[in-house]
Structure 1
Amino acid sequence: MAGARLSLRGGMRGAALPPAVRLSRQADALAAAGDAAGAEPLYARALAADPMLAGTHNNHGNVLRALGRLDKAAAAYRAAVAHGLDEGMAHYNLGSVLRQAERHAEADDAFRQSLALRPDHAEAWNNHANLLRDLDRFGPAAQAYRRALALRPDWADAHDNLGAVLYLLHEQGAEGEAAALARLWRRDHPGNPLACHIGAAIAGEQAASRAPDGYVRQTFDLFANEFDRKLAELDYCAPALLAGLLADEAPGAILDVLDAGCGTGLCAASLRPRARRLVGVDLSDGMLEHARARGLYDELHAAELVGFLAARPGAFDLVMAADVFCYFGVLDEAFAAAHAALRPGGRLAFTVEELGPDDGRPHRVATHGRYAHAEAYVRAALAAAGLELRRCDHDRLRFESGEPVGGLVVLAERPVS
């Protein structure tokens, strides 16, 4: 978040303005227009003429931070405080730039001072929590995110942050503390989809038969801009594995294809050459915006998958679902809808995370909110939906917390008769 800009007060106008104030206001106008490089020397000249302008020191800090001159920005914010701007926002700006500069102890002090002066500042609670998370202090970070959400209950980013830090706390070995905080999260925000789904998973409570649509939509809208980069970092393989499966099993076929849960369109490049018509569907408008930018789809739809499939009987020769059914626990309805949407001889290709047979359950939701499925259950659910299994491979889908995530790479077919 950019630092807050402060206006100079006073009734002076036109020629009555002192030169330093006039320069500062010119710099403010450039900064407001996004021209940090143009504003910075004007702020410097204003402060050389009158170093007592506390608000100008603060605003100078903002443009220095925008220019990546973090140490100088911190010095400017300190000067703002020293010259009388001893208020929560100035300390918040200082804490934010010190965190960015990885001067953690100083950033912690600044955030604490900011919150002592302005305890109703949700952004300060959230960013202080971000700092505590950076320092692996996951329990205190979760408490600070809760304070942010008490002030802004509908703040999606803070809910996402809280879910992520509770997952880290659980992975750190503090399962009891994470579960207790997750239950409080669910109690305080019963209508929030992240609190309902991730909170239940971390608390070890009974999960729904599938992830709520609101959870999926909110998660991927927040994730859309960094989705491709993050998955590349995790060595995400599902699209390539499915492309290889189709190359082996259906070489050269030209088909009407649905990319189910298409996300940003990572499967589109492999599907386009075999598609007479390529359709994508996803719950997240943010993800679809990126898919649309690829220019490879004939149609893109924002819709819930099962309803979309059920409404298009016999429309497709191939339905591809890369890491989509990991947001379903019970697969029966989704597989039945896929059967309905496929033409006779049409195929469903998908991946799921594998739940080992020693677990004994058909499916299980993990603390990150995705479901894993037992192979025996996947086979039985396909058969119950009238789909014939053609191939079920075991492979690595990606890495999670440095560990490989094993999955099933599956191809099933709607029988011709």
Structure 2
Amino acid sequence: MTEPSTPFRLGGFAAKAQRLFAEANALAEQGLPAEAEAVYRRALALDPRLAEAHNNLGNVLRALGRVAEAVAAYREALACGLDHPLVHYNLASALKAVGEAGPAERSFRRALAMRPDYAEAFNNLANLLREQDRLTDSADAYRRALALRPDWDEAHDNLSGALYLLHEDGRDEEAARFARLWLRDHPDHPVARHIGAALAGFVPDDRASDAYVRQVFDHFAGEFESKLAELGYRAPALLADALEKEGAPADTSLAMLDAGCGTGLCAPLLRPWARRLVGVDLSPGMLDHARARGLYDELAEAELGAFLSAHPGAFDLIVAADVLCYFGALDTVLAQAAAALRPGGRLAFTVERLDAAQPHRVSPHGRYAHAEGYVRGCLDAAGLSMARLSRDTLRFESGEPVDGLVVVAVRGADA
């Protein structure tokens, strides 16, 4: 969620005040908010009615984390006659940050009354409404933002989140109605195609698209690990435990692939067993975090199936922690994994467990769940023997445990 504050560069001031105003703007652009604040205040000491300087002072105060002072600065800009949608937007964003929801909403709506094509104001008004559980109004506002900026990935992600909350609130029909409108208006956007189809109850694709996976994980790369910690995420630890019980060697002898490595949460658990540890992921944002760990010998940005196909017989162990939940049909990717293993090599993975007659089903959060019998059948077809399968809680979703399958399979020695 972004709430960019917007500066002004308008003239009409006394010459010295204007020079100081320009100097302060330059300092702010250089990322020096404290220095810029001092110069804005010097300009305002010369001319307290420099409305644009009050607005831009509010911007640097927000950058310094002094949001209540920023509110006062934006209000001063308005009081000095700068009745402009950008100032109302800046004030609304600051009011939202200090928890003044009612005044923030009024300021967002004032900005939109003055500038009906203000997509950012619609998006951040929608964020405010979502935080108040006004989910219908929030979804409407996100749709207005997307009507103005159809390719805005952040607004698509935000609308996805609002519709998921509608679903979680038991308002499935309303969520489905919005999802159908979303798909109608944005049929080619990857998030609409995947999440919208799931919420609308349409027949899903066999797997999440590369574009969807890349966008979702790039968007959350910076907060991915903190979010998983909040959810009690356990998949890497469960896989490490399963491998130990299946006799993984205690030395560093294995060529290992961390498939869908993300930020590298599995790396500290795998490194003690690895002669060579390779990670592959679609998201460059996630790979940046994995690289910072310094535990991988190689990191590759690639689609998993294509990477596996390009490395036949390369690995003693492939680990996929909560990766195959972005595949519905597992037959192809498991066959590709089997081919990338050396004879006797292991594949360890988790999937969410589906307690239903169908083989797999996509949930409104965008992940697939799989029936145990279907998983076993796909492993057999791929030439992989089941060494271990257990049920366990992978994480918590909306306070409820997510039941998963923890699987270790082996490629035959004579394969």
| Category of TM-score, reference length = shorter chain | over 0.9
- Deviation, structure 1 residue 22: 3.0
TM-score of the superposition, structure 1-length normalised? 0.96
Cα shift readout 1:278-324 (whole Å, capped 9, x = no counterpart): 11111111111111111111111111111211221111111100000
- Deviation, structure 1 residue 68: 1.8
Which of 72, 76, 97 in structure 2 is aligned with 1:75? 72
Letter in 2 for 1:290: H
Which of 164, 167, 172 in structure 2 is aligned with 1:170? 167
* Paired position in structure 2 for 1:85: 82
Q: Supply the distance in 2 between the matched residues of 1:247 and 1:336 (Cα, whole angstroms).
A: 24
* Paired position in structure 2 for 1:220: 217
Letter in 2 for 1:388: S
Letter in 1 for 2:7: R
Unaligned runs of at least 5 residues, structure 2: none
- Deviation, structure 1 residue 220: 0.7
SS at match of 1:395: strand
Which of 192, 205, 209 in structure 2 is aligned with 1:208? 205
SS at match of 2:322: coil
Matched, 1:129 2:126: yes
In the TM superposition, what are the counterparts of 1:14-413 in structure 2 within 5 Å?
17-249=14-246, 250-252=248-250, 254-356=253-355, 359-413=356-410
SS at match of 1:258: strand
SS at match of 1:334: helix
Q: Supply the distance in 1 between the matched residues of 2:358 and 2:165 (Cα, whole angstroms).
A: 25
**Conserved? CA contact 2:74–2:91, under 8 Å:** yes
**Conserved? CA contact 2:11–2:18, under 8 Å:** no
Letter in 2 for 1:107: A
Q: Supply the distance in 2 between the matched residues of 1:110 and 1:172 (Cα, whole angstroms).
A: 29
Q: Supply the distance in 2 between the matched residues of 1:69 and 1:325 (Cα, whole angstroms).
A: 44
SS at match of 2:99: coil
Letter in 2 for 1:331: L
Q: Supply the distance in 1 between the matched residues of 2:366 and 2:145 (Cα, whole angstroms).
A: 23
Unaligned runs of at least 5 residues, structure 1: none
SS at match of 1:410: strand
Q: Supply the distance in 1 between the matched residues of 2:342 and 2:249 (Cα, whole angstroms).
A: 18
Cα shift readout 1:17-76 (whole Å, capped 9, x = no counterpart): 533333322222222211111222322232233222111110111111112222221111
Mean Cα deviation higher: 250-259 or 301-310: 250-259
Letter in 2 for 1:404: P
Letter in 1 for 2:250: G
Letter in 1 for 2:6: A
Letter in 2 for 1:50: D
**Conserved? CA contact 2:352–2:405, under 8 Å:** yes
Cα shift readout 1:142-197 (whole Å, capped 9, x = no counterpart): 11111111111111111111111110111112111110111111111111110000
SS at match of 1:399: strand
Percent sequence identity is: 63
Mean Cα deviation higher: 346-355 or 248-257: 248-257
Q: Supply the distance in 2 between the matched residues of 1:369 and 1:94 (Cα, whole angstroms).
A: 35
SS at match of 1:360: coil
Q: Supply the distance in 2 between the matched residues of 1:39 and 1:285 (Cα, whole angstroms).
A: 34
Cα shift readout 1:351-395 (whole Å, capped 9, x = no counterpart): 001112xx2211111000000111111111111111100100111
* Paired position in structure 2 for 1:4: 6
SS at match of 1:407: strand
SS at match of 1:75: helix
Q: Supply the distance in 1 between the matched residues of 2:192 and 2:23 (Cα, whole angstroms).
A: 46
Q: Supply the distance in 1 between the matched residues of 2:244 and 2:67 (Cα, whole angstroms).
A: 51
Mean Cα deviation higher: 405-414 or 42-51: 42-51
Q: Supply the distance in 2 between the matched residues of 1:402 and 1:44 (Cα, whole angstroms).
A: 49
Cα shift readout 1:244-302 (whole Å, capped 9, x = no counterpart): 11122113252111110111111111111111111111111111111111111111111
Q: Supply the distance in 1 between the matched residues of 2:408 and 2:163 (Cα, whole angstroms).
A: 36
TM-score of the superposition, structure 2-length normalised? 0.96
Letter in 2 for 1:378: V
Q: Supply the distance in 1 between the matched residues of 2:199 and 2:385 (Cα, whole angstroms).
A: 35
